[in-house]
């Protein structure tokens, strides 16, 4: 059964954010509405330390337990349709991961479109992954995670890393990743009205802002990682809502990975909004977080 909190959140998102940004072609309006959402967070644990650093030329937020000497690194690529960011929501969620797992989380403040279109964000995050390896971090001590557009970038950086002969991380967790820019999944049609946050029109505008032109090959696996070769990939976990526009990005990713022998776990949550684990007020978010923690612990213990 869907919780009353999730029902209330779906209604709030549909009647406020989705209605406000529907059909918008104004990226600044979209950013303003999403920053308003960024206020709906609680404080993080007193055990968590926040800092900033510059890695591979990019400013990064860093989150870890106070006085921790952990070698485990979580490279988290935040979502935001490639064009906006909600640092309070994301950092709150990442802190809830970092504390029980004793992870040192790194969250790149990657360049946003349309000012800096593809491949600027991917180049930035790939360079940070490479810098972790160059600094001596063992691949088995790295976890890669991301949500929505960040899931796209995380997948693309791993496909590029594989092509360039770099080792894979220990595991990867993705929340409602954008993986198919061709919008060929049935959920793009079936869930056009049921998605609580985004309309298809807004998603297409964001895609066009990110790609920055009309002559882009949408089947390029650094743009639509769904079409990549997942042979040799580490274990993956996906969480997605049943009524999301991008539901089938996750379902097909899991299917294609499993066909290549990847240990891919898929969790489809009934009527959950886009990247629902970020909304800590939801019981479903707490349940998903437990599953993610258990998944990462399992693969940490193997390293």
Could you tell me whether strands 236-241 and 171-175 are parallel, antiparallel, or unpaired per DSSP bridges?
parallel
First-to-final CA distance of the chain = 37
Helix (H, G, I), strand (E, B) or coil at 64: strand
Dihedral (C-alpha) 265, 100, 156, 32: value to the nearest 10 degrees? 110
**Which of 62, 99, 140, 244 is flagged as catalytic?**
244
**Which of 99, 148, 284, 285 is flagged as catalytic?**
148
CA atoms within 13 A on the CB side of 185: 24
| 68 assigned to active site | no
Q: Give the chain's radius of gyration (CA, Å).
A: 18
Distance CA 89, CA 131 (A): 26
Helix (H, G, I), strand (E, B) or coil at 73: strand
| 244 assigned to active site | yes
The answer to whether 147 and 91 have CB atoms below 8 angstroms apart is no
> Annotated active-site positions, please?
148, 244
């Amino acid at each position: 059964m869907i919780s009353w909190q999730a029902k209330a959140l779906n209604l709030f998102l549909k009647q406020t954010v989705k209605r406000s940004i529907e059909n918008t072609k104004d990226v600044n309006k979209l950013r303003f509405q999403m920053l308003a959402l960024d206020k709906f967070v609680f404080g993080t644990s007193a055990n968590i330390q926040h800092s900033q650093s510059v890695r591979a030329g990019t400013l990064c937020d860093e989150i870890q337990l106070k006085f921790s000497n952990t070698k485990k690194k979580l490279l988290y690529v935040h979502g935001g349709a490639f064009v906006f960011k909600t640092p309070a929501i994301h950092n709150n969620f990442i802190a809830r991961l970092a504390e029980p797992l004793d992870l040192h989380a790194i969250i790149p403040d990657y360049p946003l479109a349309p000012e800096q279109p593809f491949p600027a964000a991917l180049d930035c995050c790939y360079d940070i992954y490479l810098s972790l390896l160059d600094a001596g971090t063992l691949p088995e001590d790295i976890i890669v995670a991301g949500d929505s557009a960040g899931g796209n970038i995380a997948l693309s950086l791993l496909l590029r890393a594989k092509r360039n002969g770099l080792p894979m991380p220990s595991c990867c967790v993705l929340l409602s990743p954008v993986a198919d820019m061709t919008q060929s999944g049935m959920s793009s049609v079936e869930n056009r009205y049921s998605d609580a946050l985004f309309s298809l029109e807004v998603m297409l505008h964001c895609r066009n802002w990110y790609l920055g032109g009309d002559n882009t090959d949408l089947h390029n696996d650094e743009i639509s990682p769904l079409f990549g070769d997942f042979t040799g990939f580490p274990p993956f976990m996906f969480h997605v809502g049943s009524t999301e526009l991008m539901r089938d990005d996750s379902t097909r990713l899991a299917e294609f990975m499993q066909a290549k022998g990847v240990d891919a776990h898929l969790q489809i949550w009934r009527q959950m909004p886009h990247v629902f684990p970020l909304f800590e007020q939801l019981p479903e978010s707490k349940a998903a977080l437990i599953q993610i923690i258990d998944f990462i612990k399992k693969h940490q213990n193997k390293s």
